Amino acid sequence: MTIAAGTPRRKRPFWTIERRDAAAGYLFIAPQLIGIVTFVLFPLGLVFYYSLHEWNVLANTFNFVGAANYQMLLADKALPQVLLSSAIFSAGLVILNMSLALLLAVLLDQKLKGITVFRTLFFSPVVVSLVAWTIVWSFLLQNNGGINGLLQLIGVEGPNWLRTPATAMISVVVVQVFKNVGLNMILFLAALQGVPKELYEAARVDGAGRFKQFRRITLPLISPTILLTSIITIVGSLQVFAQIAVLTQGGPGMTTTVLVYYLYQQAFQFHFFGYGSTLSILLFVIVALLTFVQWQMRKRIVFYEN
C-alpha cells in the first residue's frame, strides 16, 4: 500500500508503551536512588571536600590546605599500629565468627524436639542493644568481675582482661563474636536447609562419609552464602566503634585502637576535622578494595561461578 503524495504522515505519540514502562521503572527505583545520592554520594563528596581543608571548630576557622592532610596521613607514626590493630581485630572476628556460625548452623540443622529454642537462644544476642551488651561485658571482664570470679572457684587467678595488652584485643573480639554470631548462623542455617537431601542420600549410597559429604556437597552449595557473610563480616569488622569506646577506649596503649576509633579521636577529641575526614577516605578505600577483591574471588569461592 502506497501513501499518496501530499498526505500528512501520522505523528507518533510521545507517551509510547516503551516510555511509559521506562518511567514506571524510574519511579520504582527513585526512592533508592535518592537515598544513595543523599546519604552516600553527597556525604562522601563532602568528606573529600573537608579532607582538603583544616576546620578548627574552636577557633571558627576553615582554611584550604590542599594535600596537607594526606601528607600528614603518610607521615603519621601512629597509623601503622592503628592499621595493625584493625587487621588483627578483623582477622580474629572473621575467622571466629564464621567458623562458629557455620558450626552452630550445622548442629542446629537437625530435626530434633526443642531445637527451635536453641536457635532462638543463639540468635537473641543479635537483637540486644549493642551498648547494653557491651556495658554488661565490661563489668564481667573487669579485674574483679564475673569472669575472674568464676575462675577463682577453680583456683585460677584471671588477668585484668581489658587492661592487659595480651588479652585486651582477644576480649574485644570475643565480645563482638558472641554478639553477632547468631546473624551469620541464621544465614548459614537457611543455606543448609536449601541443599537438596537427595544429594546426601546419593553420596551415602556411594559410600561417602559425613566429612566428605560436607566437603563435597555442603560447602560448594552454600558457597554463595559464605561469600555474602564474609563480605558483611569484614565490612562490619572495619567499622567497629562502640565496643572499643565502651570496653577499652583504644587501650592499653594503642593495642585496641582500630581505624574508626582513631578517626573519632582525631576528629571529635582533638578537633582535627580535616585529618579525620582524610582518615575516613582511607577507611572507604580499604573497604572498597577488600570488597572488590572478594567479589573478584567469587569465581574460585562460589560453586555456581565455576
Domains of the chain: 17-51 (no CATH), 76-301 (1.10.3720.10)
What pTM does this model have?
A: 0.86
CA pair distance 276, 281, nearest whole angstrom: 9
Tell me the pLDDT tens digit for each residue of 27-58.
Answer: 999 999 999 999 989 999 999 999 999 987 77
Which residues are within 8 A (CB) of 25 and not within 5 positions of it... i.e. 6 or more apart?
none
- 80: exposed, middle or buried (C-beta count within 10 Å: 0-12, 13-18, 19+)? exposed
- C-alpha cell at position 22: 521506562
CB 65 within 8 A of CB 52: yes
CB 134 within 8 A of CB 242: yes
Instruction: Reduce the DSSP state of residue 87 to 3 states and report it.
Output: helix
Q: How many Å is the maximal CA-CA distance in the chain? A: 108
Tell me the pLDDT tens digit for each residue of 58-109.
Answer: 777 889 998 999 999 999 999 999 999 999 999 999 999 999 999 999 988 8
DSSP 65: -
- C-alpha cell at position 238: 572495619
